[in-house]
Structure 1
Amino acid sequence: MAKQKPKKVRKYGKGSRPCVRCGSYGPIIRRYNLYLCRHCFREV
């Protein structure tokens, strides 16, 4: 297998904060410090 570089640490933008439930970097709901993606927010 080829070597892979570790993920670059992002300070801002979509790649800076993953969903706390599933770990995706897509549409995150940050209101009230939830940090859940849109899909997990609807399931909870």
Structure 2
Amino acid sequence: MGKYRPPKHVRIGRGAVSCQRCGSHDAVIRKYGLNLCRQCFRELAVSLGFRKYM
């Protein structure tokens, strides 16, 4: 066969966490267990109860 290794599962870093809503890997807010990217957070902030974005 040949020297082939399957890709390792990503456990740490940006690739390990994705947005729950759109699947994006960049600018993910994990605080309070949100796991949303910043764009999705801005859209949902008011419904989540964050007063700053009203």
Cross-structure match for 1:16: 16
Structure 1 regions of 5+ residues with no counterpart? 1-5
Which protein is bigger by CA-based radius of gyration?
2
RMSD: 1.7
Residues of 2 paired with 1:7 and 1:34: CA distance? 28
Cross-structure match for 2:50: none
In structure 2, relative to structure 1, the CA distance for the partners of 1:13 and 1:19 (3 Å cut) is: same
TM-score (norm 2): 0.65
Structure 2 regions of 5+ residues with no counterpart? 1-5, 45-54
Higher relative contact order (CA 8 A, sep 6+): 1
How far the C-alpha of 1:8 sits from its partner, in A, is: 4.5
In structure 2, relative to structure 1, the CA distance for the partners of 1:27 and 1:7 (3 Å cut) is: farther
